[in-house]
A = this chain, B = another copy of it.
Amino acid sequence: MDRQHGTRATISDVARVAGVSRQTISNVLNNPERVRPETRERVLAVIDEQGYRPNAAAKQLRQRRAHALGIELDVTGNRRVSGVLTAFLVESVLAARTHRASIVPFVSADHERPEPEFDDLVRRQMVDGFIIVDTRLGDPRPAWLRERGIPFVSFGRVWDDPEHTAWADVDGAAGTATAVEHLVAGGAHQVAFLGWPSGSPTGDERRLGWQRATRAAGIEDPSLVQESVQDVSEATLAAAGLVRRLNPGDAIVCASDELAMGALRAARAAGLTPGLDCSVVGFDDGPLAEALGLTTLRQPVSEIAQHLVAVATGLGDGDDPPAHGRLALPTLIVRATSIRRATPEEEEGRS
């Protein structure tokens, strides 16, 4: 065999045996309509026989395209990646694959100033663009990327730039509204809300959904709200103030699963059994919610990843960004922490 290196066949090896030019091999793989069927079949047989695969580095160099998207792993503080981000990473890897691309996970030395790492990856042609996650008000990344014409898409709204349309996010308001409906259907007369401090657009949106749904159900009570930072102990304290106000059968909708943990603790401390005496619903889902048997709203990470990867690779192909962003509905996952009535639509508890 004419392979002058290891075990990898090159395009020249295939061309020699198939009796055609190297460019014809390339055409068979990339522009098959330019090749006669007979030639095509002959070439494909040799490719299969030799186990030929195009060298990724050669393609990247010639095309000046990395066929890869960077995703930063936010490991602030305890070097822990959130359950949602982990799931999103997995789904992105899967989605990228269908686009013949790959995901480059990276960590910034200084999370508050990630730009040098973004810059480095682009200059080295390691990535064609980025999928940014955990966007927030005042986030420096979008403007920085836009100024340099670096393609990017966003899991989460780009709150400082409403014109940026290449984003997808969970519809937080629809989610909490669904939770309220579920709880009311389960007999709750009061539904409280445990959220983050105001000023977080994501948190405010989830609160809005709760508000609308309680109003629609005729049980709105704006005083049934407490705030806490994303910390279980803090959330427990905040939730205690709500639990005190509730009657048996009532409920708390939380802006996240971590906050829901606080609510569960507060309820138990007050002698209430979640799922029997009261209900608690979280937001996000993940191994934690599953292990706790927590009723929660599952982030639509698969749908979001598929959409974003498609848009990002399209940007690389010269496509236009979408006309507007995309909201995806979370799925209510009913487990043990919410009281429910015997309806066929319930389920999904770990039993």
Contact B232 A291 (CB under 8 A): yes
Contact B126 A56 (CB under 8 A): yes
| Residue tally, chain A, CB below 8 Å to B | 55
Quick one: given A90-B75, A258-B291, are A5 and B64 in contact (CB under 8 Å)?
Answer: yes
Interface flag for A55 (CB, 8 Å): yes
A60 to B91, CA, bound (A): 27
Interface flag for A37 (CB, 8 Å): no
A56 to B119, CA, bound (A): 14
Quick one: given A87-B80, A232-B291, are A56 and B93 in contact (CB under 8 Å)?
Answer: no
Which of B79, B105, B350 sits near A233, CB closer than 8 Å?
B350
Contact B53 A61 (CB under 8 A): no
Which of B91, B105, B291 sits near A93, CB closer than 8 Å?
B105
Interface flag for A104 (CB, 8 Å): yes
Quick one: given A86-B86, A148-B7, A291-B288, are A51 and B107 in contact (CB under 8 Å)?
Answer: no
Proximity bits, A38-82, B CB within 8 Å = 1, else 0: 000000000000011111111011001010000001010001111
A1 to B111, CA, bound (A): 33
Q: Which residues of B contact A123 (CB under 8 A)?
A: 8, 51-53
Contact B102 A102 (CB under 8 A): no
In the assembled complex, how far is the CB of residue A99 from the closest CB belonging to chain B, in whole angstroms?
14
Q: Which residues of B contact A57 (CB under 8 A)?
A: 56-58, 60-61, 66, 125
Q: Which residues of B contact A66 (CB under 8 A)?
A: 56-57
Copies in the complex: 2
Contact B86 A107 (CB under 8 A): no
Contact A79 B87 (CB under 8 A): yes
Interface flag for A106 (CB, 8 Å): yes
Contact A350 B232 (CB under 8 A): yes
Proximity bits, A112-139, B CB within 8 Å = 1, else 0: 0000000110111110000000000000
A87 to B261, CA, bound (A): 22
A87 to B86, CA, bound (A): 10
Interface flag for A97 (CB, 8 Å): yes
Contact B81 A90 (CB under 8 A): yes
With both beta carbons as reference points, the residue of chain B lying nearest to A262 in the complex is identified as B291
Interface flag for A343 (CB, 8 Å): no
A122 to B52, CA, bound (A): 11
Quick one: given A8-B125, A93-B73, are A58 and B61 in contact (CB under 8 Å)?
Answer: yes
Interface flag for A223 (CB, 8 Å): no
Proximity bits, A1-43, B CB within 8 Å = 1, else 0: 0000101100000000000000000000000000000000000
With both beta carbons as reference points, the residue of chain B lying nearest to A51 in the complex is identified as B123
A149 to B5, CA, bound (A): 13
Contact B107 A93 (CB under 8 A): yes
Q: Which residues of B contact A148 (CB under 8 A)?
A: 7
Contact B287 A56 (CB under 8 A): no
Closest 9 CB pairs of A and B: A57-B60, A53-B123, A57-B61, A56-B124, A53-B124, A57-B57, A86-B86, A56-B126, A55-B125
**Can you name 10 extra interface pairs (CB under 8 A) apart from A82-B287, A93-B105?**
A53-B120, A53-B124, A55-B124, A57-B66, A75-B90, A90-B107, A102-B104, A102-B106, A232-B291, A287-B288
